[in-house]
Amino acid sequence: MQELTIIRPDDFHTHLRQGDLMKDLVRETSKSFGRVLVMPNTIPPVVTPDDVRAYKKELQDVGTDLDFLMTFKIMPNLDPSSMTALKEAGAVAGKFYPVGVTTHSEDGVANIESSYEVFEAMQEQDLILCLHGEVPGVEDLEREHAFLPQLKKIHENFPRLRIILEHTSTKAAVEMVQSLGDKVAATITVHHLLLTTSDVRNGEFHPHNFCAPICKSESDRKALVETVLSGNPKFFLGTDSAPHLKENKEGDHPKPGVYTTPVALPLLAQLFEENGKLDHLENFTSVFGANFYELEKNSDTMSLKKEEWSVPSDYFGVVPLKALEKLTWSVIKN
Ligand code: DOR
Ligand code: ZN
């Protein structure tokens, strides 16, 4: 049977939530990944150095060997002078959410320039700026496109600041990131590589494929696939795995978010293999992100085998991407 062994992957964008669900998510995540960048949009959000320390401890107390790279949420009134203490508390990045664009962003920032003093202080502390790049109030298919001039402007104002455009979903965004210097990179999710708008709504709404930014057109999807296959080091894996309980996704007000952690590596292996680029998978999952974050690559490996399996209908009450479908690669358990 064909096996594939790669440097243990990192997920530079994941949501691990809180409470009992968090414990299940951490255990599941540790089966595939070595390190994860943990998003701060919990309730209440992770904002202060004490929040960062407390959340990290809760995650570590689950008792896996997953490493947690912590973020803080850039709130409208965040004090720029708190960056030193945030860094000392273990934060490696700050996450910027424009107000109202996604799950738990009602407390996000309305005017991005009001955060420029924070960006300046982050640049001085060498903290990474992770951007949810969508403009509120714009039609959902156009929101990311509308944000791109702001990305350029932040980079021009803070040329030493490392910036990541998270969950890049359009060809235009890929081109913008490519056109900016080495300090600007992007994460790409598994679902944006596989889905288009018609998997979300085609007369009928498919809540489990609904995320923010929404999956775009086939030409956007193809541009993302070409980009990851090309081996450009500015683009690396951040799954934006964003679990919500089945009943909340299927209710009247479904929250955006696709849960991909358990299927991420099998689906990526399949995609890279189908395109004859299996040898580029490891750079995307395990090398380029570590380099951008200035971390050593993980010292251990993980393996996949070519063995068909059926994705469960749910993991702890959360419906995953490709639920009940058959995948061709599976993760070999340690
Ligand atoms: O689809 C998404 N879900 N996008 C985000 O930006 C947030 C996330 C969540 O927290 O559920
Ligand atoms: Zn996210």
User: Which of 211, 248, 319, 321 is the pocket-test mutation for ligand 1 (most atoms within 8 Å of CB)?
Assistant: 211
> Which position has the token pair 């202060």?
48
What is d(CA 229, CA 225) in angstroms, rounded to the nearest whole number? Answer: 6
CA distances from 46 to 39, 55, 70, 94, 147 (A): 9, 8, 9, 10, 24
Instruction: Give percent above pLDDT 70 in the chain.
Output: 99
- For residue 182, the model assigns a pLDDT of 97
- Mean pLDDT, the chain, integer: 97
**Parallel/antiparallel/unpaired status of strands 3-7 and 301-310:** antiparallel
The CA distances from residue 236 to 204, 228, 291, in Å, are 32, 7, 10
Ligand nearest to the CA of 71: 2
What CATH architecture does domain 3-331 belong to?
Answer: Alpha-Beta Barrel (3.20)
- Find the ligand nearest to 191 CA: 1
Interval between CA 131 and ligand 2 midpoint (Å): 10
pLDDT at 333: 81
pLDDT at 102: 87
Does residue 189 register a pLDDT over 80?
Answer: yes
**Atom 3, ligand 1: which residue's CA is nearest?**
257
Ligand 1 centre to CA of 270 (Å) is 25
Ligand 1 proximity of 212 Cβ (cutoff 6 Å) = yes
The side-by-side arrangement of strands in the sheet containing 301-310 is: 3-7, 301-310, 326-331
Query: Which residues lie closer than 8 Å to 290 by C-beta, 6 or more apart?
Result: 10, 296, 297, 298
Residues in the chain: 334
pLDDT of residue 196: 98
> Nearest-CA neighbor of 176 among 150, 158, 137?
150
55 CA distance to ligand 1 middle (Å): 18
**pTM of the complete model:** 0.98
Residue 76: other Cβ atoms inside 10 A: 13
pLDDT confidence tier of residue 194, bands split at 50, 70 and 90: very high
In this prediction, residue 103 carries a pLDDT of: 85
Q: Give CA–CA dist 52/87, Å, rounded.
A: 10
Would the CB of 217 count as within 6 Å of ligand 1? no
Q: What is the domain partition of the chain in residue ranges?
A: 3-331
pLDDT confidence of 190, banded at 50, 70, 90? Answer: very high
Q: Is the CB of residue 132 below 6 angstroms from any atom belonging to ligand 1?
A: yes
The CA-based angle 295-126-73, given to 5 degrees, is: 95
Predicted confidence (pLDDT) per residue in 172-185, tens digit = 999 999 999 999 99
CA of 71 to the centre of ligand 1 (A): 15
Phi-psi region of 257 (alpha: psi -120 to 50; beta: other; left: phi over 0): left
Centre of ligand 1 to C-alpha 5, Å, is 30
Given this model, what pLDDT does residue 50 score?
98
What is the per-residue pLDDT across 19-47, written as a single tens digit (0 to 9) for each? Answer: 999 999 999 999 999 999 999 999 999 99
Residue 290 Cβ < 6 Å to ligand 1: no
Q: Is the pLDDT of residue 116 over 80?
A: yes
Is 211 a residue whose pLDDT tops 80? yes
DSSP 141: G
Q: How far is C-alpha 327 from the chain's CA centre?
A: 22
CA distance to 87, 89, 135, per residue, from 55 (Å): 14, 11, 29
Q: Is 108 touching ligand 1 by the criterion CB < 6 Å?
A: no
List the one residue out of 184, 80, 157 whose CA is nearest residue 122.
Answer: 80
Give the pLDDT confidence score for residue 172 in this predicted structure: 98
Q: Tell me, what's the pLDDT at 107?
A: 92
Residue 41 in contact with ligand 1 by CB distance below 6 A: yes
Mean pLDDT value of segment 203-229 = 98
- Phi and psi torsions of 145, nearest 5°: -55, -45
CA pair distance 225, 237, nearest whole angstrom? 12
